[in-house]
Structure 1
Amino acid sequence: MFRNYFAIPTWLAVMLVGTILLTVTVLAVLGFFTAGAVLAAARQPFNPLETAAEQVAGTALPPLAQEGIVPLATLPPNMPTPTPIPTSSAINDGRTNILIMGIDRRPGEPFISRTDTMMLASINPLDNSISLLSIPRDLYVVIPGHGRDRINTAFVYGSGSNNPAGGAALAMQTIEYNLGVPVDHYLMVDFNAFIQTIDSLGGIDVYVPYDINDPTFPDMNYGYDPLYIPAGLQHLDGYTALKYARTRHQDNDFYRAERQQQLLLALRDKALGLGFTELLRQAPGMYARLSDGIRTDLSLEELLQLANIAKDVPDGNVRNEVLGYDYVVSYTTEAGAAVLVLINEQAAPLIAELFLDN
């Protein structure tokens, strides 16, 4: 896997709307538009998350065995305990695991915010496959050094007041600790980058299985922007696609996760359908519009390698799953928070199939 090959990350052209699928399809194209500058820039920093001044060699986190977990709530005896899934023995099969985070960030706000969406993506060159696992934001887990809380708070805890790179590091470690999956890299996308990516591609076609009616959908200024999308095949622009991806008042987070994965696959199909020439023509403008809303610790060279692998993965080798009803149970904390607790014996086989088995 591409672990720690480059001490300084680069972001030159990722227009990923929350998914490695779209990223790896387009990265090669966007990289080429820099022509002779590509080789020189491949290992240079461009647009990673900012790190506090004292953090000069990565974010140091305490060892898990020494972090002294203080539970935020005590689970009754008949409830599953949110403990880590045992990690499989160390693997080096060439796969790359990337934590994709959609950030609830409005225009003008800093990059430190709760993660609205969390998805773990894996590209495996040995069997030419891609795996996606959507992780519910209300999953109640151990956050190393901070006790138990919802998984979407890990980024905020790690960021502190001014260290979003530490937030990404803690979010990755939280996934590793609780799911037993080694995470190699992070990729973060905010709302505007999501919108601009889809609009840059001319919109996407999505089959909506039933009418979507959400009269209290939040707008970008924390007000309301009612949403209605009729059932059937629909052509969505970027903002409507964002609303389709985020709405959950009509159903729940699990259906929302399925819609997000549906959009990612539609984006991949649209990017592949446009072809290299059209993407190359659009690359400079897309990069200018998207760079402010995307952060990653992947270098351009790593992204191009991933693009070369993932662009040829057939649809039948793309597996997308959600940690849904079969893998979690509802629980109310002593503070009255409604959360989800992972059922380890149910989730472990799925996680092994997606991320640990050759």
Structure 2
Amino acid sequence: MTSAKKSKATKTTSLLPRWLSWALGIAFLVTAVSVSSLAYLTASAYWDSPFNPLDSNDGVAIAAQGELLDIESILGNNGTDAGLPPAVVTELVAQNEPFLVPTLESTGRTNILVMGIDRRPGEPYLSRTDSMIVLSIDPTENRAAMLSIPRDLYVTIPDYGQNRVNTAFVYGAQYGSPAQGAELAMETVSYNLGLPIHHYLTIDFNTFVQAIDTLGGIDVDVPTTINDTMYPDMNYGYAPLYIPAGLNHFDGELALKYARTRHQDSDFHRAARQQQVVMAVRERVLAQGVNGLLQQGPLLLNQFEEGIRTDLSPGQMLALASAASQIPAENIDTAVLDSNYVTPYTTPGGASVLILQGHLVGPLIQSLFD
């Protein structure tokens, strides 16, 4: 497998208002990361507790020590986002002067770990990651890839032993900052998949729902009728969900529900639906074009300011978005670490998790990212 090279940016002659350039730069990345926020409202988040449920399976068990670490106490003691890089648009809203849009010049592949953070508006940013997708952009081959990582994947977390992959963020942040949590999550994914991870981006579900509505909704071709009589509502009851097979137009809330439902199949099918939603958002953004973003850019920026965090610089985001916009849909490869690549396992503490099948995952990683 070839290693990714560091991307460089050069300037083109295109001039755009600064806020519009930011909107364009964020637009494609949001299509890739928006799905991460969908998992925030997964069914298990409501079966036991609406806020970071803690039980024998969801607590953080450090295998090397044989202890159960109380996630709630960690979140309560360090529930601040002071160490996280500021929202991507915080300092740019008031700047309207035109500037040159950078483009990618190098032949390197850039891999970004996008994470949905399990939090609601107004809550601290330090929470478990309920969804992870590795987004990869290769400008040389004009290709992109998305790989969904199940939250119950049992992995080695550097310096912390074995645990679910979705606990790495909290481990890294508990004695440092949320930014360090993101760094440990990147290191964990890289270590277990043998894949370099260069950047991270996090998003919350409310930002996704609002962005979908601002864009006017999305069109999704539903392959199989959804009839979920046990779809959970916000009050521990049920709100039956029915979506007919065929082409459907979703607003933000319905898109969230479509990606959240899983009772009729599995988490793996849900991950596939989430990727389907990502592609639908991408098509909607591309269809809007510059004129559409001119009309909706300020509102989108206001939404992004509160719900998206990243270590990508403005130039990197714009360069990646520029490269990604040139990649046709047929050149975007998608995969889920599903039952073809993992096997169920019960830990000594009784937690139900998933174990990677390395001899099968290796070829998949090569096919997607090589």
TM-score (norm. length: structure 2) = 0.73
Give the C-alpha shift of residue 216 in structure 1: 3.8
2:97 corresponds to 1:36: yes
Task: Please give the alpha-carbon distance, in whole angstroms, between the structure 2 residues aligned to 1:319 and 1:253.
Answer: 20
Q: Map of 1:78-117 to 2, 5 A cutoff?
A: 93-117=107-131
User: SS where residue 158 of structure 1 aligns?
Assistant: helix
User: SS where residue 213 of structure 2 aligns?
Assistant: helix
Q: Report the equivalent of 2:76.
A: none
Task: Please give the alpha-carbon distance, in whole angstroms, between the structure 2 residues aligned to 1:33 and 1:281.
Answer: 17
Mapped contact 1:212–1:250 kept (Cα < 8 A): yes
Q: Report the equivalent of 2:169.
A: 155
Q: Report the equivalent of 2:277.
A: 263
Give 1:163's aligned amino acid.
Answer: S
Task: Please give the alpha-carbon distance, in whole angstroms, between the structure 2 residues aligned to 1:159 and 1:283.
Answer: 33
Task: Please give the alpha-carbon distance, in whole angstroms, between the structure 1 residues aligned to 2:348 and 2:33.
Answer: 38
Which of 240, 245, 266 does residue 231 from structure 1 map onto? 245
Distance of aligned partners of 1:305 and 1:340 in 2 relative to their CA distance in 1, 3 Å threshold: same
Give the C-alpha shift of residue 101 in structure 1: 0.7
Task: Please give the alpha-carbon distance, in whole angstroms, between the structure 2 residues aligned to 1:139 and 1:4.
Answer: 34
Which blocks of at least 5 consecutive residues in structure 1 are unaligned? 6-10, 43-91
2:361 corresponds to 1:347: yes
Task: Please give the alpha-carbon distance, in whole angstroms, between the structure 1 residues aligned to 2:153 and 2:366.
Answer: 19
User: SS where residue 317 of structure 2 aligns?
Assistant: helix
User: SS where residue 125 of structure 2 aligns?
Assistant: coil
Give 1:103's aligned amino acid.
Answer: I
Q: Deviations over 1:134-180 (max 9, x none)?
A: 11111110011111111111111111166110110000000110001
Distance of aligned partners of 1:147 and 1:4 in 2 relative to their CA distance in 1, 3 Å threshold: farther
Task: Please give the alpha-carbon distance, in whole angstroms, between the structure 1 residues aligned to 2:202 and 2:122.
Answer: 16
User: SS where residue 19 of structure 1 aligns?
Assistant: helix
Task: Please give the alpha-carbon distance, in whole angstroms, between the structure 1 residues aligned to 2:360 and 2:309.
Answer: 33
Which of 180, 185, 198 does residue 166 from structure 1 map onto? 180
Mapped contact 2:33–2:115 kept (Cα < 8 A): no
Query: How much is the aligned-residue C-alpha RMSD, in angstroms?
Result: 2.8
Paired residue total: 294
User: SS where residue 182 of structure 1 aligns?
Assistant: coil
2:155 corresponds to 1:141: yes
Give 1:194's aligned amino acid.
Answer: F
2:294 corresponds to 1:294: no
Q: Deviations over 1:86-134 (max 9, x none)?
A: xxxxxx9511000011122112211111112110010001100001101
Q: Deviations over 1:170-204 (max 9, x none)?
A: 00000110001000000111010110111111000
Q: Map of 1:206-355 to 2, 5 A cutoff?
A: 206-219=220-233, 224-355=238-369
Task: Please give the alpha-carbon distance, in whole angstroms, between the structure 2 residues aligned to 1:288 and 1:186.
Answer: 21
Task: Please give the alpha-carbon distance, in whole angstroms, between the structure 2 residues aligned to 1:325 and 1:313.
Answer: 29
Mapped contact 2:115–2:132 kept (Cα < 8 A): yes
Identity within the alignment, %: 54
Which blocks of at least 5 consecutive residues in structure 2 are unaligned? 10-20, 36-87
Task: Please give the alpha-carbon distance, in whole angstroms, between the structure 1 residues aligned to 2:305 and 2:34.
Answer: 18
Mapped contact 2:22–2:318 kept (Cα < 8 A): no
User: SS where residue 122 of structure 1 aligns?
Assistant: strand
TM-score (norm. length: structure 1) = 0.75
Give the C-alpha shift of residue 302 in structure 1: 0.5
Distance of aligned partners of 1:161 and 1:37 in 2 relative to their CA distance in 1, 3 Å threshold: farther
Task: Please give the alpha-carbon distance, in whole angstroms, between the structure 1 residues aligned to 2:299 and 2:233.
Answer: 26
Q: Deviations over 1:292-325 (max 9, x none)?
A: 0111111111111111111010112110111111
Give 2:206's aligned amino acid.
Answer: N
Which of 181, 184, 188 does residue 198 from structure 2 map onto? 184
Distance of aligned partners of 1:109 and 1:213 in 2 relative to their CA distance in 1, 3 Å threshold: farther
Mapped contact 1:33–1:283 kept (Cα < 8 A): no
